[in-house]
């Protein structure tokens, strides 16, 4: 590939429901544009985009990829994204560097959630829709178009009506130009519009004329007066409408038919990087000033790292978007966040899994470096004398957490090292050792995400682990008061042991502290010098509650009496005496188990409100309120729920809303569990002991 200027580069993210044909259509675009010599297939695991072993095995996209192609003297960087919800992090990365979007919609009935989400994700971008799969048995172009129109309104501007013969699409009518085209091998030839199709073509043409009329007052007047638009007016209005995000051209075909018009439309309608509307916000570190910039190749070179790939052969690959200037091979670059200079000796662009060496890349283009020393995803590389920072990609929080079970003993460190490598690639994965339960916890977006992480650990690092439900950090406290005596007395040979305490145990009222210790000793019944020993004994005992062994909180212990022996008393003896008092006193002071309560915010379309609230009731949750989000059909439901009942929520919410819901949650406080739950927790602790 030659060097492309900012005016000749476009970055197009491909979005759509899982399995709608994104990767297949991209493969056909690459082939049609001459970028590959054979058309890869998902079934054979031979597509340029789904090159990862897991993708080939599962026949779904897992990673975002960049597939650059050349068409009509332009370079189009196509960004393939996975449709499965669990890989939303990959979609966020691609959206960050895209200037426009191609949404692929299956021609079968109903608007998929994936289409709605794609529309929402691309709401700020110029876009084109491709109705795919017209060769499928239950496909219907007319119905799909009507559905799109109903859902997305006047912006929908159909360009084509397919010409079908025996369930196969053999050509199309271009309703913008009012010309027929028939597929002829890999290309198309012009044909007259079949007479019998006029009834079908007319309403679609009307749709595009209506959409065109919306783009200017002048055209609207013309439309109202019943005048015909010229071809030039239509193409001008389409381009303007797409750039301003007022019109969305709709194309149609199958995974290998109708591909050329997609490429043509991208070049005709989408903005080049130089005049893109989706510019970056930049912060100049020296002056602390924020600025919005376009992809200007005349400025000093800078780029934003949007993705990291851990390649088994090459090592770390950092993909970046050139934001300003021209990045040249061998150019040292300053990493603003890390305060370090990187000296990559080669410059690449990435095409699927391949690194293609290039001399320079202009603003708006996408490139790659290998083996950068300090750089990770979300870093900015620029000039040291004017360091800048681009805004980070924001990822959803991973709430689906499981505990790791090492299948062979003693390899915790090996597991940590391998997972840390995966974390470099995957910004939606979290890994931590819980400070209390000491379990190694792995969190992701959903079960598929963690499942694939396990597969990767096995195939890349030969590490096999299992996953289990994590232990919850329960607490224990007391609700009542008990006054008890603890006496430790031993007479064995020489030195004896003597410690004797009387302690009142009661709630301190402060669950954030383990215990409060006081003494009310009169007349030196217990000498002062032993108070610290009593407190130490108390602190040690409070690490384990008496019901199920969970840490104790909110206990007030007051030392009120005791006795001592001049020779036999010792710190150790008083500690032991305290432990005896604790063991006897806590069970008498109405001990209870506390559980972590989460504050949850669920965002769903309003039609799901009843289901979500009903479901919260089953989770022992309290719904705190429902607020509609103005100007949308969405609402936010706030609730407080026990963490124990929210462990599978990412998956349950998805199935309740078919993926239309989102949620966030955070810990708020501890609360007493109901007695039946308490019995279960105690029972479980006994079994595990
Ligand atoms: N009959 C038919 N099958 C298609 C068409 N487009 C895609 N497929 C098949 O549908 C399956 C899924 O296609 P992909 O290209 O992997 O879809 P995708 O949108 O990339 O899927 P994800 O990335 O996993 O979301 C593959 O088996 C394709 O061969 C089409 O137009 N017609
Ligand atoms: Mg795919």
| 173-194 residue pLDDT tens | 999 989 999 988 777 899 999 9
Query: Do 129 and 170 have their domain in common?
Result: yes
Q: Is the CB of residue 114 below 6 angstroms from any atom belonging to ligand 1?
A: no
Q: How far is the CA of 467 from the centre of ligand 2 (A)?
A: 27
Residue 467, CB-side half-sphere exposure with 13 Å CA sphere: 18
Q: How far apart are CA 99 and CA 107, in angstroms?
A: 26
Q: How far apart are CA 304 and CA 320, in angstroms?
A: 5
CATH number at residue 666: 3.30.70.240
Query: Do 287 and 429 have their domain in common?
Result: no
**Ligand nearest to C-alpha 49:** 2
Q: How far apart are CA 109 and CA 21, in angstroms?
A: 16
- Residue 406's pLDDT is 76
Could you tell me which of 38, 107, 137 has the C-alpha nearest to residue 254? Answer: 107
Q: Is the CB of residue 21 below 6 angstroms from any atom belonging to ligand 1?
A: yes
Q: How far is the CA of 589 from the centre of ligand 2 (A)?
A: 61
- Which tens digit of pLDDT belongs to each residue from 257-287? 999 999 999 999 999 999 886 567 888 888 8
- Which tens digit of pLDDT belongs to each residue from 279-311? 678 888 888 888 888 899 999 999 999 999 988
Beta bridge partners of 581: none
Could you tell me which of 114, 80, 83 has the C-alpha nearest to residue 94? Answer: 80
State which of 14, 15, 18, 21 you would mutate to test the pocket of ligand 1, scoring each by most atoms of that ligand within 8 A of its C-beta: 21
**Ligand nearest to C-alpha 25:** 1
666 assigned to some structural domain = yes
Q: How far is the CA of 22 from the centre of ligand 1 (A)?
A: 7
3-state secondary structure (DSSP) of residue 91 = helix
Torsion of CA 334, 340, 346, 351, to 10 degrees: -80
Q: Is the CB of residue 448 below 6 angstroms from any atom belonging to ligand 1?
A: no
Ranking 65-74, 134-143, 579-588, 617-626 by mean pLDDT, the lowest is 134-143
Q: Is the CB of residue 253 below 6 angstroms from any atom belonging to ligand 1?
A: no
Q: Which residue has the tokens 């005992």?
A: 541
Q: How far apart are CA 290 and CA 293, in angstroms?
A: 10
pLDDT category of residue 387 using cuts at 50, 70 and 90: very high
The yes-or-no verdict on residue 671 having pLDDT over 90 is yes
- Residue 278's pLDDT is 57
Residue 18 alpha carbon, nearest atom of ligand 1? 25
Query: Do 152 and 250 have their domain in common?
Result: yes
Query: CA angle at residue 576 from 573 to 578, to 5 degrees?
Result: 110
Q: Is the CB of residue 23 below 6 angstroms from any atom belonging to ligand 1?
A: yes
145 assigned to some structural domain = yes
- Which tens digit of pLDDT belongs to each residue from 150-174? 999 889 999 999 999 888 889 999 9
Q: How far is the CA of 445 from the centre of ligand 2 (A)?
A: 18
Q: Which long-range contacts (CB under 8 A, 24 or more apart) does 631-637 make?
A: 633/605, 633/606, 633/607, 634/603, 634/604, 634/605, 634/606, 635/603, 635/604, 635/605, 635/606, 635/609, 636/601, 636/602, 636/603, 637/601, 637/602, 637/604, 637/609, 637/612, 637/613
Query: Do 233 and 292 have their domain in common?
Result: no
166 assigned to some structural domain = yes
Q: Is the CB of residue 40 below 6 angstroms from any atom belonging to ligand 1?
A: no
Query: Do 55 and 105 have their domain in common?
Result: yes
Total residues belonging to the chain: 689
Q: Is the CB of residue 83 below 6 angstroms from any atom belonging to ligand 1?
A: yes
Residue 132 alpha carbon, nearest atom of ligand 1? 31
Q: How far apart are CA 608 and CA 654, in angstroms?
A: 12
Between 137 and 224, the higher pLDDT residue: 224
Query: Do 176 and 264 have their domain in common?
Result: yes
Q: How far is the CA of 190 from the centre of ligand 2 (A)?
A: 32
**Ligand nearest to C-alpha 132:** 1
- Residue 437's pLDDT is 86
CATH number at residue 489: 3.30.230.10
Q: How far is the CA of 306 from the centre of ligand 2 (A)?
A: 19
Count how many domains the chain has.
5
CATH number at residue 432: 3.30.70.870
Pairing of strands 160-165, 168-174: antiparallel
The yes-or-no verdict on residue 559 having pLDDT over 90 is yes
Query: Do 66 and 210 have their domain in common?
Result: yes
CA distances from 432 to 143, 402, 429, 462 (A): 49, 11, 10, 21
Q: How far apart are CA 293 and CA 377, in angstroms?
A: 21
464 assigned to some structural domain = yes
Phi, psi (rounded to 5 degrees) for 453: -60, -40
- Residue 211's pLDDT is 85
pLDDT cut 70: percent of the chain above it: 99
Which residue range is the domain that position 321 belongs to? 277-390
- Domain end (from 209, 242, 274): 274
- Domain end (from 538, 564, 589): 589
Query: Do 99 and 246 have their domain in common?
Result: yes
518 assigned to some structural domain = yes
The yes-or-no verdict on residue 102 having pLDDT over 90 is yes
Torsion of CA 586, 592, 593, 595, to 10 degrees: -130
pLDDT category of residue 524 using cuts at 50, 70 and 90: confident
Asked whether the CA dihedral 601, 606, 607, 610 is positive or negative, the reply is positive
- Domain end (from 589, 610, 634): 589
Could you tell me which of 369, 136, 158, 362 has the C-alpha nearest to residue 255? Answer: 136
CA distances from 506 to 27, 477, 516, 553, 557 (A): 71, 9, 10, 11, 7
3-state secondary structure (DSSP) of residue 655 = helix
pLDDT category of residue 594 using cuts at 50, 70 and 90: very high
CATH number at residue 379: 2.40.30.10
Q: Is the CB of residue 11 below 6 angstroms from any atom belonging to ligand 1?
A: no
Q: Which long-range contacts (CB under 8 A, 24 or more apart) does 329-332 make?
A: 329/357, 329/358, 329/359, 329/360, 331/301
- Which tens digit of pLDDT belongs to each residue from 425-470? 999 999 999 988 889 999 999 999 999 999 999 988 888 999 999 9
224 assigned to some structural domain = yes
Query: Do 501 and 578 have their domain in common?
Result: yes
Asked whether 422 and 456 are in contact (CB, 8 A), the reply is yes
Element (H, E) at 292: strand 289-293
3-state secondary structure 402-454: EEEEECCCCCHHHHHHHHHHHHHHCCCCEEEECCCCCCEEEEECCHHHHHHHH
- Which tens digit of pLDDT belongs to each residue from 44-68? 999 999 999 899 999 999 999 999 9
Q: How far apart are CA 98 and CA 80, in angstroms?
A: 11
Asked whether 241 and 211 are in contact (CB, 8 A), the reply is yes
Query: Do 37 and 126 have their domain in common?
Result: yes
Query: Do 20 and 169 have their domain in common?
Result: yes
The yes-or-no verdict on residue 607 having pLDDT over 80 is yes
Residue 59 alpha carbon, nearest atom of ligand 1? 16
Q: How many CB atoms lie within 10 A of CB 385?
A: 8
pLDDT category of residue 314 using cuts at 50, 70 and 90: confident
1 assigned to some structural domain = no
492 assigned to some structural domain = yes
Q: How far apart are CA 169 and CA 173, in angstroms?
A: 11
Q: How far apart are CA 420 and CA 443, in angstroms?
A: 13
Asked whether 22 and 30 are in contact (CB, 8 A), the reply is no
- Residue 277's pLDDT is 63
Alpha-carbon Rg for the chain, nearest whole angstrom, is 33
Query: Do 284 and 270 have their domain in common?
Result: no
Q: How far apart are CA 62 and CA 47, in angstroms?
A: 13
| Residue bearing the CA closest to ligand 1, atom 13 | 21
């Amino acid at each position: 590939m030659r060097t492309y200027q900012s005016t000749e580069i476009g970055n197009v993210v491909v979005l759509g429901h899982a399995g709608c044909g994104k990767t297949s259509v991209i493969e056909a675009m690459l082939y049609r544009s001459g970028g590959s010599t054979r058309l890869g297939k998902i079934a054979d695991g031979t597509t340029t985009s789904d090159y990862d072993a897991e993708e080939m095995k599962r026949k779904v996209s897992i990673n975002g990829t960049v597939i650059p192609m050349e068409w009509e003297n332009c370079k189009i960087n196509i960004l393939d994204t996975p449709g499965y919800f669990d890989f939303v992090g990959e979609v966020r990365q691609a959206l960050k560097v895209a200037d426009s979007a191609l949404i692929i919609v299956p021609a079968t009935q109903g608007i998929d959630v994936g289409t709605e989400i794609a529309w929402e994700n691309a709401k700020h971008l110029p876009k084109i829709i491709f109705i795919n799969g017209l060769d499928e048995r239950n496909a219907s172009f007319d119905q799909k178009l009507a559905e799109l129109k109903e859902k997305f309104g006047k912006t929908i501007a159909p360009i084509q009506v397919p010409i079908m013969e025996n369930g196969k699409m053999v050509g199309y009518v271009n309703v913008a130009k009012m010309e027929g085209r028939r597929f002829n091998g890999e290309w198309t030839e012009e044909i007259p519009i079949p007479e019998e199709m006029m009834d079908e073509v007319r309403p679609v043409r009307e749709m595009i004329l209506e959409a065109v009329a919306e783009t200017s007052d002048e055209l609207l007047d013309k439309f109202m007066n019943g005048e015909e638009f010229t071809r030039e007016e239509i193409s001008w209005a389409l381009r303007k409408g797409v750039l301003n995000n007022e019109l969305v051209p709709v194309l149609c075909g199958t995974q290998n038919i109708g591909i050329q018009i997609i490429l043509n439309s991208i070049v005709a309608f989408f903005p080049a990087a130089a005049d893109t509307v989706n510019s970056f916000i930049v912060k100049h570190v020296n002056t602390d000033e924020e600025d919005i910039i376009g992809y200007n190749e005349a400025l000093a070179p800078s780029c934003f790292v949007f993705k990291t790939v851990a390649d088994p052969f090459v090592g770390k690959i950092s993909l970046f978007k050139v934001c300003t200037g021209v990045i040249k091979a061998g150019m040292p670059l300053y990493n603003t966040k890390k305060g370090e200079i990187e000296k990559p000796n080669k410059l690449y662009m990435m095409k699927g899994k391949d690194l293609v060496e290039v001399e320079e890349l202009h603003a708006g283009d996408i490139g790659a470096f290998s083996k950068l020393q300090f750089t990770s995803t979300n870093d900015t590389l620029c000039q040291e004398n004017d360091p800048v920072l681009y805004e980070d990609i924001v990822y959803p929080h991973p709430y689906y957490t499981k505990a790791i079970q090492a299948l062979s003993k003693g390899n915790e460190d090996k597991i940590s090292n391998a997972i840390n490598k995966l974390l470099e690639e995957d910004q939606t994965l979290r890994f931590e050792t819980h400070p209390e339960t000491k379990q190694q916890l792995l969190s992701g977006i959903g079960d598929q995400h963690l499942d694939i992480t396990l597969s990767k650990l096995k195939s890349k690092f030969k590490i096999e682990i299992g996953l289990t439900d994590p232990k919850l950090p329960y607490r224990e406290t007391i609700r009542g008061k008990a006054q008890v005596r603890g006496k430790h007395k031993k007479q064995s040979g020489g030195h004896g042991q003597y410690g004797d305490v009387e302690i009142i145990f009661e709630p301190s009222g402060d669950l954030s502290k383990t215990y409060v210790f006081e003494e009310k000793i009169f007349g030196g019944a217990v000498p002062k010098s032993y108070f610290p020993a009593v407190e130490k004994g108390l602190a040690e005992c409070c690490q384990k509650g008496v019901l199920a062994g969970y840490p104790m909180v909110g206990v007030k212990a007051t030392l009120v009496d005791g006795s001592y022996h001049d020779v036999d008393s010792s710190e150790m003896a008083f500690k032991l005496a305290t432990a005896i008092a604790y063991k006897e006193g806590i069970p008498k002071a109405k001990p209870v188990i506390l559980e972590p309560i989460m504050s949850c915010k669920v965002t769903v379309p309003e039609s799901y409100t009843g289901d979500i609230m009903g479901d919260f009731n089953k989770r022992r949750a309290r719904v705190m309120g429902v607020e509609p989000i103005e100007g949308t059909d969405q609402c936010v439901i706030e609730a407080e729920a026990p963490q124990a009942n929210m462990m599978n929520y990412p998956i349950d919410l998805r199935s309740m809303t078919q993926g239309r819901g989102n949620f966030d949650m955070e810990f708020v406080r501890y609360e007493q569990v109901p007695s039946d739950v308490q019995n279960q927790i105690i029972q479980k602790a006994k079994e595990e002991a």
